[in-house]
Homo-oligomer: A and B are copies of this chain.
């Protein structure tokens, strides 16, 4: 994996860059759709390509439990298994182990946890998590980390960080010298000195990119942005920065200003399945009665398949009738909306007009509220 910085905004930390992987290139800033169990919910690989998606995220915790590494490997690797020829990044499973597993016991050696599916017991080490990602053949791997809840005490955050850094060192040592990317994950809760320590130690290990973990877990937005800005200052400009778990248009734009290149979040696809859609005039909920007889497309400014062919009234009908097509069409729209937003963001950075673009977009997006 390689990262090339193509352009840097003069008035903010916003950057336009390009990641080269074994399966193509990915322009940043980028929003990565989440395909937890080996499929972006409700959407086909061809539709993702049509939208212009260059990379998706899959989840090691989920794929490890079901269908299991062995089957995916037997089927020729993850790309072939899921019929996706572009880039794949896999989350290490750390976040899931510490959030949805019904029991977790981290030690310096690794982490013991129970499956949320059948309660079976498992033990994973940082090395095993990487081995799995390598055997699936993914393009960008993440190290195993220990995630703490918010709020957490300084002591909790410090203990978890120390372990996470130990794991990061082992991960870096273990890494086979191939062309795949390996990202470290910055932790340290909401404590600035811990975040700084985390970055400094990770940067010494020289990862291919740096993820900001342990954010978007319930902390106030202002605190999150403070931590992002603070952390970002200590990260090398030559590596991509990946903010995990953020996915609303307004937050993405603000965090791009703070120097973030990569985002992922299940929110855009999850809210879509319940009728929540992004539009140039803000987020709307299609289930609302005001759309009952509304012949307009979701967003009159949008050129996506959904907006070119369907009325709000029909989409609302499909959602109330619990029809799968409704979820397909709103998911398609939300992913298109973000992909299109990112295209405009990159263009504006290239043209030196990012802050202007952001201001105009947010004025319109937040004006209707």
Chain A residues engaging chain B, CB cutoff 8 angstroms: 37-39, 41-44, 66-67, 71, 74-76, 81-83, 292-293, 295, 309-311, 313-314, 316-318, 320-321, 323-328
Residues of B within 8 A of A81 (CB): 311, 313-314
CB distance from A67 to the nearest CB of B (A): 4
Complex Cα gap A74–B42 (Å): 29
Judging by beta carbons under 8 Å apart, are B323 and A41 in contact? Answer: yes
Complex Cα gap A324–B38 (Å): 12
**CB-based nearest B residue for A326:** B39
State the number of copies, please.
2
CB distance from A287 to the nearest CB of B (A): 13
Complex Cα gap A317–B74 (Å): 14
Q: With contacts A38-B314, A313-B71, A321-B37 known, is A328 near B295, CB below 8 A?
A: no
Judging by beta carbons under 8 Å apart, are A37 and B292 in contact? Answer: no
CB distance from A167 to the nearest CB of B (A): 28
CB distance from A143 to the nearest CB of B (A): 25
Partner of A83, one of B309, B323, B324: B309
CB distance from A38 to the nearest CB of B (A): 7
Judging by beta carbons under 8 Å apart, are A42 and B293 in contact? Answer: no
CB distance from A88 to the nearest CB of B (A): 15
Can you report 9 residue pairs joining A to B where beta carbons are below 8 Å apart? A37-B323, A44-B328, A71-B292, A71-B293, A75-B295, A81-B311, A81-B314, A324-B327, A324-B328
Judging by beta carbons under 8 Å apart, are B325 and A44 in contact? Answer: yes
Complex Cα gap A71–B320 (Å): 14
CB distance from A62 to the nearest CB of B (A): 8
Judging by beta carbons under 8 Å apart, are A311 and B75 in contact? Answer: yes
Judging by beta carbons under 8 Å apart, are B295 and A67 in contact? Answer: no
Complex Cα gap A135–B166 (Å): 70
Residues of B within 8 A of A314 (CB): 38, 75, 81-83
Known pairs A38-B323, A41-B325; list 17 more (Cβ under 8 Å). A37-B318, A37-B323, A38-B314, A39-B324, A39-B325, A41-B323, A41-B324, A42-B324, A66-B320, A67-B292, A74-B293, A74-B295, A76-B295, A81-B311, A82-B314, A83-B309, A328-B328
CB distance from A311 to the nearest CB of B (A): 6
Complex Cα gap A293–B328 (Å): 28
Complex Cα gap A41–B41 (Å): 16
CB distance from A117 to the nearest CB of B (A): 9
Residues of B within 8 A of A293 (CB): 71, 74-75
